[in-house]
Structure 1
């Protein structure tokens, strides 16, 4: 079986059965294409169904020699595992050649977080005399108050707002829906933004239901949200490398530090596995240790 026809089927599987986004699908395809490049480099004519564990071991040595970072190697291997899982499901192979392949060991990096003081300073630095100021304040309050991914924020729709019960309906990764609580402050700021700013914008067709719009009347891009946060950090002299995701990390960290149940935090973040959420318990332990050092008389 040829690589291109197999990749076409794999692409359809990722889109239709796993409901992955276009970017995620392209990343998986790119991972498999790396293996194809390896065989071309070695001038080996091997179909995808004839690949063995030994071939894959040689491939991992090759990408390591190319200087590929351990995190990138792990992602490529994850893509190949998904590809061969698909071939196994389709009965195109009888055994999975990736089964015995282990990825590089990765150091678990704790995410950067902001203190409540930093977040308050960032939000208070927004210039409300400008038309986009009220939007930005409502946007960052929602980003932090509900722990959203930036993609979830820019795709938030008016029809997803349930002010009567103080919840948002979020469509997360894999088109999975979840309900996330809203703060009363976010509700107040969104209401002001909609009534005083958004109502005056000439909205472009197809964007009527998106909550946060730019001056041209179309939904905000993820890059624009990043730029807004970066400009605010520079304005207050915050010497930290932050992004929209930093607000999400801070949301989770502050909940755990306050004693929130891990399962509840997992549900609000939309993590498929609680293992992903458990990283914030490590942050909490650091917080507890720092608290003891700072305040305990025998520390």
Structure 2
């Protein structure tokens, strides 16, 4: 076992150029693997079976007499090291088969999307001034992002013809070239109208003509990075900088809809998710909110 591990780590360092920190982590993980096998009475590397590899994975999450339980991410890294070790040994002809081939690392726990409280969103949307070329554009952009749940890339990809102010809808180009028609709220429509009438013509005069909805100071299409900067700048002005990411308004859109009673499949369509499973992570957010309310309001909640 020691010789195989040494040969594998040498292979990673010399032939794969693996970073020193990664090598050190793998070495620790594989020492723990060797110790686990020894406790199971397995001393011949060639006789390791899938059951031993799976058992090691379980031991990582449950802990043992010498080690505390590992988080899913750390356990996954350790199993990646073990899988790599067995694959190397098999390819090099040291073993007849690869017992770790079908063993999968544990899935990382789903991280709940961060959503802003409604009051924080309203404060953010009120940050851009009500006049001026860029402030009018920025207000329209932020209103549209929250009103439609669009990704920033979808918003900056909009053309003038994608907005129907009469029907109050916007046509978004989502992932995989899939389009979706999404309703847009009246405040967003009003912000867009103010931008289209009083701001966009001035910005457009500086360029060479483009159908893009949102323009930069040169009269060309606003980039995703610039749109993200608009969000970041106004979030800082609103005192929300620590809570904001490029997807913040999209997360807030979904969470607030579900908290308001919207069906998860409707939200799935609005977000453009291919599977409802992707959307259901937002229901975890609303369940947490319900749990907090229950804990503070129900007389027997703490019993």
The TM-score with structure 1 as length reference comes to 0.66
CA contact (8 A) 2:133 2:195 kept: no
2:213 to 207, 211, 214: 211
The alignment partner of 1:244 has SS state of coil
2:154 to 152, 155, 161: 152
1:65 to 26, 30, 39: 26
Q: What CA deviation, in whole Å up to 9, does each residue of 1:269-294 have, x standing for no partner?
A: 00011110000111110111112233
Whole-angstrom distance in 2 between the partners of 1:281 and 1:235: 30
Aligned to 1:115: 117
CA contact (8 A) 2:148 2:182 kept: yes
Q: Cα 1:153–1:101, aligned 2, differ >3 Å: closer, same or farther?
A: farther
1:173 to 172, 175, 186: 175
Whole-angstrom distance in 2 between the partners of 1:228 and 1:120: 16
Tell me, which stretches of 5 or more residues in structure 2 are unaligned?
A: 1-10, 29-71, 81-99
Q: What CA deviation, in whole Å up to 9, does each residue of 1:164-194 have, x standing for no partner?
A: 2221111110111111111111111111101
Aligned to 2:222: 220
Find out whether 1:131 has 2:105 as its counterpart: no
Shift of 1:147: 0.2
Q: Cα 1:119–1:65, aligned 2, differ >3 Å: closer, same or farther?
A: same
2:188 to 182, 186, 189: 186
1:161 to 160, 163, 171: 163
Aligned to 1:41: 15
Q: Cα 1:213–1:42, aligned 2, differ >3 Å: closer, same or farther?
A: closer
Whole-angstrom distance in 2 between the partners of 1:190 and 1:129: 13
Find out whether 1:268 has 2:275 as its counterpart: no
Whole-angstrom distance in 2 between the partners of 1:239 and 1:39: 41
Shift of 1:237: 2.0
Whole-angstrom distance in 2 between the partners of 1:214 and 1:66: 51
User: Highest CA radius of gyration, 1 or 2?
Assistant: 2
Shift of 1:240: 2.5
Whole-angstrom distance in 1 between the partners of 2:174 and 2:13: 37
Whole-angstrom distance in 1 between the partners of 2:278 and 2:23: 30
Q: What CA deviation, in whole Å up to 9, does each residue of 1:194-240 have, x standing for no partner?
A: 111101222534x6111011111111112212222222222122253
Shift of 1:153: 0.8
Number of equivalenced pairs:
221
The TM-score with structure 2 as length reference comes to 0.65
The alignment partner of 2:242 has SS state of coil
